Amino acid sequence: MNLLVVSLDSVRLDFVSRTAAMVDTPRFDAATAGFRFAERCFSVATATRPVHLSAFSGLYPFEHGIEGQRQGRQREKIPLLFRTLAAAGYAVGAYSEAATVFTGMDLGAPLAPLAPEAPGGLEQLLPWIRRPRREPVCLFAHYWEAHTPYGAADGLALGETLDLLRAGRQDVVRQRYIGAVERLLERKVAPLIEACDLERGCVLVFSDHVESWDEMEPFHGETLRNSVLRVPLYLHAPFTGTAPFPCPVQSLVDVYPTLCALLQVTPAGTTSGRDWGAPEPDPLYVAQITPTGAAPAGVDPDLARAPADAAARQWAVFDRHWKYRWTEGSAGVLESTLAGQAEPAAPDDGRVAGLLEKWRALRAASPYAQQPLADAQSIDQGLLDQRLRDLGYL
């Protein structure tokens, strides 16, 4: 069985047609009409690098080591989807419109640059879809079009788009963003899905994180609020129908075990994710992010310590009912998981204490969290920072 995985970097849950009439994507809608749609799916972080490694390993950032956009060292010998499928006999192709954002990372397969113009990108990808049926194919495509700056002339996140937000011109930013989402889904993703034989393959389309346009967080990667953490996700598996996901909430950490189960491939190791086809009634999920910045003093050692060259880590722990989020060294906020109404809360609050107890048990049980990171000499931090700067992150 073939597999197509499509990552829609920065596409918001409320800016796809299944949740918002403002987006006009008839071709994409027709191509995905028979897909399951998840609108209760949470990411594991709010930056591109940690999210993708979590999706393709079934591990949380604290387990695989990439806890923020600037962190380049991941743990060795973690399970990786593309490597698992290659070992099972799959031909694997992986492409990205922003391949440099993954500098220094091992996703389990070589990552090739994908042409940003729709015709050129499709020319690279369609031969994989149309390969002879001698061996199963796994194709990954990572699209950057809906990521900041949404077509702004300077091409930088920290440039024209940010100036518009500071000037109160969210209307201009939203219209540019809508245009970017429509171009992405109609001209790039829909033709790719249309070329697939859906009776012989699975298709997963997901967003890694979403965008925010307020003073607290102009884009993403600074908090774990629902406004940047809840993502759209589409899933097709042959002859399974469009019934809602049986689990009450989903997480991108579940991608690896779920795809392995659908393809009947044995995962390469223990994961923290769950197969959506065999859900738990009330699973616990985790999200975290280490924003770029300087580490504050006085971090609570019981909640772990941030790296010396980074801002304090932020955590969110949640089940179907409650979500508790906090920054290391600071008081936390409790909110209803889906509705998002927030209230200050202390760790000894009964609702919080239960979540934190499960969170600590999860971290203690992980066979990966204490393993060494890759050799520091294998990562050129200056090169990574320059490439992130070129993309407008820094």
**pLDDT for 25 beyond 80:** yes
What pLDDT sits at residue 232?
Answer: 97
Task: State mean pLDDT over 50-67.
Answer: 97
What pLDDT sits at residue 300?
Answer: 34
What pLDDT sits at residue 58?
Answer: 98
The DSSP element (H or E) to which 8 belongs, if any, is strand 2-8
Q: Is residue 211 part of a domain?
A: yes
Q: Is residue 141 part of a domain?
A: yes
Task: State mean pLDDT over 313-328.
Answer: 95
Q: Is residue 207 part of a domain?
A: yes
Distance of alpha carbon 340 from alpha carbon 333, whole angstroms: 10
What single-letter DSSP state applies at residue 186?
I
Q: pLDDT-derived band of residue 155, with 50, 70 and 90 as boundaries?
A: confident
Q: pLDDT-derived band of residue 382, with 50, 70 and 90 as boundaries?
A: confident
CATH number for the domain spanning 105: value is: 3.40.720.10
**pLDDT for 302 beyond 50:** no
Q: In sequence order, which ranges of the chain are alpha helices (DSSP H)?
A: 26-31, 48-55, 61-64, 81-87, 118-129, 162-166, 170-183, 190-194, 226-229, 255-263, 350-365, 381-390
CA-nearest of 294, 147, 327, 320 to 225 is 327
Q: pLDDT-derived band of residue 334, with 50, 70 and 90 as boundaries?
A: very high
What pLDDT sits at residue 140?
Answer: 98
Q: Is residue 270 part of a domain?
A: yes
Q: Is residue 392 part of a domain?
A: no
Distance of alpha carbon 329 from alpha carbon 304, whole angstroms: 10
What pLDDT sits at residue 329?
Answer: 87
**pLDDT for 305 beyond 90:** no
What is the tens place of the pLDDT at every residue in 142-151?
999 999 999 8
CA-nearest of 354, 25, 359 to 183 is 25
Domain count for the chain, please give it: 1
What pLDDT sits at residue 198?
Answer: 96
Q: pLDDT-derived band of residue 304, with 50, 70 and 90 as boundaries?
A: very low
Q: Is residue 367 part of a domain?
A: no
User: And the tokens for 326?
Assistant: 């906090």
What pLDDT sits at residue 378?
Answer: 63
3 state SS of 37: strand
Task: State mean pLDDT over 109-123.
Answer: 97
Q: Identify the burial level of 4 via C-beta atoms within 10 angstroms of its C-beta, where 0-12 means exposed, 13-18 middle and 19 or more buried.
A: buried
Least confident of 173-177, 298-302, 350-354: 298-302
What pLDDT sits at residue 282?
Answer: 85
Q: Which domain holds residue 250?
A: 2-281
Confidence (pTM): 0.93
Q: pLDDT-derived band of residue 311, with 50, 70 and 90 as boundaries?
A: confident
**pLDDT for 156 beyond 90:** no
The CA–CA distances, whole Å, from 220 to 144, 157, 167 equal 14, 11, 19
Output the average pLDDT for the chain. 90
**pLDDT for 289 beyond 50:** yes
CA-nearest of 24, 7, 3 to 232 is 7
Task: State mean pLDDT over 242-252.
Answer: 90
Distance of alpha carbon 260 from alpha carbon 81, whole angstroms: 8
Using alpha carbons only, how large is the chain's radius of gyration in Å?
20
Distance of alpha carbon 102 from alpha carbon 16, whole angstroms: 26
What is the tens place of the pLDDT at every residue in 172-227?
999 999 999 999 999 999 999 999 999 999 999 999 999 999 888 889 988 999 99
Task: State mean pLDDT over 293-299.
Answer: 36
Q: Is residue 179 part of a domain?
A: yes
Q: pLDDT-derived band of residue 376, with 50, 70 and 90 as boundaries?
A: low
Q: Is residue 120 part of a domain?
A: yes
- How many Cβ atoms from other residues are within 10 Å of residue 340's Cβ? 13
Q: pLDDT-derived band of residue 239, with 50, 70 and 90 as boundaries?
A: confident
Q: What are phi and psi of 2, to 5 degrees?
A: -80, 165
